[in-house]
Amino acid sequence: MKLAKLGAGPEIFHTVQGEGISAGCPAVLIRTSRCNLHCVWCDTDHTWNFEGTPWPHEKDAVPGYTKHRKADVTFELSPADAARAILAFGCPRVVITGGEPLLQEKELLETARIILAEMPDCIFEVETNGTRIPSPEFGETVHQFNVSPKLSNAGMPENLRLVPEALAHFAASPKAWFKFVVATPSDLAEIQTLRSRFAIPPQRILLMPEGRTAAELDLSAPQLAELCRDLGYRFCDRLHIRLWGDKRGV
Ligand code: SF4
């Protein structure tokens, strides 16, 4: 399967989950490469923003920024080798992120089954943009879906970023938790519209402050927490930014 590359190896590392309802839990993170979306602010664009692709990105304005050479940022690994690398940490929680992991669901299911054969209590979380419905087998194996539908600030047409059948599927699944970064009042208005359009239970919606540093998070967090209180949503901090900023592989 295609994973993101970190240094000379695959992007698989032991960390603590930084966001969502299991924030703070020790976990092994595995990052798949490739995404079916191309958000202009994506902070993992090494998984999809390759040379020769037409997608714009905020970083285009940064002097010296160039798109990634696919071979430099991709690491091919079999499900058996990925399972072995994950099991080596001895940690009973695996966070599968991307990119968009559901593009490689078959290989990930095989990986999860190998891990479960050795570590039956292992918990699997999948971070997804909510545009694809998992197969019944994968849906049964995964314990938690952290769904982040993309808002208009991602810079893509609605028909690409919002797939009604998939969002309705996750809204109806008690395994799915919806998390959104809120930067502006219009973000909140879009979230409210999504909530009513897809009947997402408010108690499974998490709002997170925007920011790439702890100081930036602090600016909007108190106000956002009060909003969550009033709307019945869950406030979620962004632990990895507080602990490590935007450093990769931790
Ligand atoms: S869906 Fe996620 S990984 Fe894909 S481009 Fe958007 S932010 Fe990046």
In a domain, 209, yes or no: no
129 lines ligand 1 (CB under 6 A): yes
Other Cβ atoms closer than 10 A to 172: 12
Categorise residue 99: left if φ over 0, alpha if ψ from -120 to 50, beta otherwise.
left
Closest-lying ligand 1 atom to the alpha carbon of residue 99: 3
In a domain, 194, yes or no: no
Percent of all residues in the chain with a pLDDT value above 90, rounded to a whole number: 95
Number of structural domains found in the chain: 1
In a domain, 54, yes or no: yes
In a domain, 34, yes or no: yes
156 lines ligand 1 (CB under 6 A): no
Residue nearest to ligand 1 atom 3, measured at CA = 99
pLDDT of residue 72: 97
The model's confidence at residue 247, banded by pLDDT at 50, 70 and 90, is confident
The answer to whether residue 246 scores a pLDDT higher than 80 is: no
Q: For 108, which DSSP code?
A: H
Domain of 174 in residue numbering reads as 2-178
Give the C-alpha separation, 32 to 184, whole Å: 30
The model's confidence at residue 197, banded by pLDDT at 50, 70 and 90, is very high
- 119 close to 145: Cβ distance less than 8 angstroms: no
In a domain, 111, yes or no: yes
In a domain, 235, yes or no: no
Closest CA to 86 of 31, 128, 135: 31
- Give 50-95 pLDDT, tens digit per residue: 999 999 999 999 999 999 999 999 999 999 999 999 999 999 999 9
Average pLDDT over residues 235-240: 94
In a domain, 57, yes or no: yes
Which residues lie below 8 Å from residue 98, measured CB to CB, with a gap of 6+?
4, 31, 32, 33, 34, 35, 44, 47, 127, 128
Q: Is the dihedral of CA 210, 170, 132, 109 positive or negative?
A: positive
CA of 147 to the centre of ligand 1 (A): 11
pTM for this model (two decimals): 0.96
The model's confidence at residue 245, banded by pLDDT at 50, 70 and 90, is confident
Looking up residue 131, the CATH number of its domain turns out to be 3.20.20
In a domain, 93, yes or no: yes
38 lines ligand 1 (CB under 6 A): yes
